[in-house]
Structures are given as C-alpha cells and as structure tokens.
Amino acid sequence: MPTKELHVLSVEKSIKILETLAMTTEGIGLSDLSRRLGLNKSTVYRMLTTLKAYGYVDQEPTTGKYILGLKILELSSGLLERLDVRTVAHPYLKELAARSQEVAHMVVRDGNEAVYIDKVEGNRTIRMYSQIGRRVALHSTAVGKAILAFLPSEEVEKIITSTGLPRFTARTISTMAALQAELARVRECGYAVDDGENEEGIRCVGAPIFDYRGQVVAALSISGPSIHVTMERLPELAQLARHASEEISRRLGYKQ
C-alpha cells in the first residue's frame, strides 16, 4: 500500500505534467516531457497513461504527442460560470449597497457550504466581518436558504444528512421540519431572511440567482446590524434584493 508521502509526490508530479502540457498548443512528446520535468520516461509514461484513461490527457494520433484532454475543460466550466456570474452581478451589488447603505454580498454553493465571491460595502461606518472566500453554512444564512429552497428536495436532504443542523445562535434552525417549512416560505415569497441565525445581531435578506437552465447558481444578500436592518425595513430591502436577483438571472439567460 503506497504511503501518504508517495501519494503526495504522485499528485505533485501529475500536476506538473498538466501544467507543462497547458503551456503548449502543439503537444509534447514523452521524451521531451520527461526532460522538462526531470523525471524518467517510465514514470512519466505511467502517469500519462492514467491521466489519459480519465480524460485529463489526450494523445495526437499522428504525432503521438500528448495534449490536455477535454476533461480539463469540463472541470473548468463550473469555475467559468461562477466568474461570469460575478462579472454580471457586480454592478447590481454596487447599486444594492448604495441604495440600502448596507453590505451587499454574493455567494455560490460549494458542496455543503456557501462561499462569498463578491462583497460591496455600504455607506455605514460599522463594518461586517465577512470576506471573499469565507465559507458559511447553508441552513443558517439568508443566501444559503435562498439556494437550498430551489434545490431538489433529495439534494437538500443529502446536504443536511451530511452536515447536520449545527446551532450558531439561539435562533438557528435546528430541525429538518423547521427547515423545510422555512424553505417552503422562501419559495413562496422569493427571498430568505437570516434573523440573527448565523451571527448574533446581524440580519440579512437573500434572494436566489438562476442561470439559463433554470438552476440556482448563486444568491445575493443585503446584510447589516439589526439596528439598521430593522424588521420594518425588511419589505423594502427584500424588494431591492429580489429585483437585483431577477435582473441578474435575466442577464444570465433565465426565463420564468
């Protein structure tokens, strides 16, 4: 059985092969690739054979040179979609922050969590602890619930079975029945609320973003301290969030 160290070395060598192939459009022969990597031909050949079997490397039939396989494009498509969503959404986040004077966020789902991919500060002097790249739970955040509400029910059950419903504050939803009822409400009204469920004293309004396939691919929110994002302001902020999410979805090709 290979040791952990050998596993790491194998991964590093495979990554170097892919990175080297990515630098050429004409392909690289086995001998040349071995020389560039400083590895013996038999080692490189074995790795190329494995990468080729999984579609990450291909081989030109006439020259025998190795090139990147289409599987690489398949893997990158998800990232490209996320980056495209961010590009489309950013002007709307700036408008949300300006009009609400609060913080506008956007997240995408990554496995069982949501990840902030954009943030625009409002005009308030109070700053929230949030940053691009930060991960948050789905069940306790407005953006997370906006995403969960429009996933297939079996997918939601799979996520919650894996993560559970950990409490972050006294207000965090902690039972599946309560979560299902909340998600039904989100589907009905088109937005989600985090009333201090993820962080004490912070209230958020979130809305889903759909792509041209009608699939939820992201969510945005307006967030701030409860003293600013009051219950009385929720209808106004929810309308702003929904309008922005609908416009972004439309720009992504979504048709209701």
pLDDT tens column, 185-209 = 999 999 999 999 999 999 999 999 9
Say if CB 191 and CB 182 are below 8 A apart.
no
Among residues 31, 51, 68, which one ends one of the domains? 68
Task: Give the C-alpha separation, 89 to 144, whole Å.
Answer: 17
How many domains does the chain fold into?
Answer: 2
The confidence band for 129, taking pLDDT boundaries of 50, 70 and 90, is low
What global pTM score does this model have? 0.71
Q: Which of 152, 122, 70 is nearest to 237 (CA)?
A: 122
Query: Got the DSSP string for 155-187?
Result: HHHHHHHHH----SSTTS--SHHHHHHHHHHHH
Final residue of a structural domain among 48, 68, 88: 68
CATH of the domain at 111: 3.30.450.40
